Amino acid sequence: MSALLEVDAVSRRYRMPRSSLFRAGPVLTAVEGVSFALDRGRTLGIVGESGSGKSTLARLIMAFEAPDEGEVRFDGRNLHALPSAELRLARRRFQMIFQDPWGSLDPRRTVAWSIAEPLRATGAGEIGRRVDEALEQVGLRAQDGTKYPHEFSGGQRQRIAIARAIVTRPALLVADEAVSALDVSVQAQILNLLMDLQEELGLAMIFISHDLPVVACLADHVLVMRAGRAVEAGPTAGLIAAPRADYTKSLLAAGGLMP
């Protein structure tokens, strides 16, 4: 059986603004030749400093942007070759959790309305029941759906964002710095929730962070990125015990994880 997600030598470059009327702007390489595969029910941690290309890679995986080279295949299908209607339906099976839940929650709408948005976009049925179920799965009450985002704490809003991501019953969650804006105690609660949901729902997960100790808590494998490139990858325990790249060693040292 093939992997659920296959990222094959993807690259993404951006043309920067020109500094001269007669000269093209410079090209910024955000991601260069990154490859990995992720099996069903497993977790890949992607770690690196700000500007390492992690979030750009996430946008390529989610098909928010197309790579300049390479392919992203989900269940064997090249996402960037799908017609827009097919891609919209495929999105039910891969969802994203962002660092700031305000990005996915409309402050003018009830929580239930925001959670249901991915279902409306794909024409799913039983919307009310599935929203209630998702709220309860993340440790909130079904009746909380009648409230507005400002009525919740930061950790609760992140739970709501997670409910929005799982309401379509996806096979893959991509969490981009999903706990970095939270207090340490709340971070632990959200990490435990994600691990519980993974076990309950059989999710594959990509967890993106600048914090290697956080990634090590829940990832089976780790991919270390620097300046758009993958500098090291491997099983989490082995990578922490015997890092090869100097950059990985520096991340471990910064997190107090050096062997």
- Per-residue pLDDT tens for 109-131? 999 999 999 888 766 668 899 99
- Residue 102 — pLDDT band, cuts 50, 70, 90? confident
Mean predicted lDDT score pLDDT of the chain: 90
Buried b (16+ CB within 10 A) or exposed e, 163-187: bbbbbbebbbbbbbbbbeebeeebb
Query: Which of 57, 59, 69 has its CA nearest to residue 11?
Result: 69
Asked whether residue 208 is assigned to any structural domain, the reply reads yes
Asked whether residue 35 is assigned to any structural domain, the reply reads yes
Give the pLDDT confidence of 74-99 residue by residue, as tens digits: 999 999 999 998 998 898 999 999 87
Q: Let me know how many helices (H) and strands (E) the chain has, helices first.
A: 9, 10
> What global pTM score does this model have?
0.91
Distance CA 180, CA 231 (A): 23
3-class DSSP state for residue 46? strand
Q: Residue 17: its pLDDT value, please? A: 80
Asked whether residue 224 is assigned to any structural domain, the reply reads yes
Q: Residue 183: its pLDDT value, please? A: 84
- Residue 256 — pLDDT band, cuts 50, 70, 90? low
Asked whether residue 215 is assigned to any structural domain, the reply reads yes
DSSP string, 65-113: S--SEEEEEETTEEGGGS-HHHHHHHGGGEEEE-SSGGGTS-TTS-HHH
Distance CA 73, CA 157 (A): 31
Q: Residue 53: its pLDDT value, please? A: 94
C-alpha pair distances (Å), 165 with each of 3, 28, 171, 250? 21, 31, 11, 33
The DSSP element (H or E) to which 6 belongs, if any, is: strand 5-15
Q: Report CA dihedral (138, 144, 147, 149) to the nearest 10 degrees.
A: -10
Q: What is the CATH number of the domain that holds 218?
A: 3.40.50.300
Structural domain boundaries, residue 28: 5-254
The count of domains in the chain is 1
Of 30-39, 178-187, 198-207, 237-246, where does mean pLDDT reach its minimum?
178-187
Q: Residue 69: its pLDDT value, please? A: 97
Give the pLDDT confidence of 166-190 residue by residue, as tens digits: 999 999 999 998 888 788 888 889 9
Asked whether residue 259 is assigned to any structural domain, the reply reads no
Q: Residue 203: its pLDDT value, please? A: 95
Distance CA 46, CA 55 (A): 10
Q: Residue 125: its pLDDT value, please? A: 67
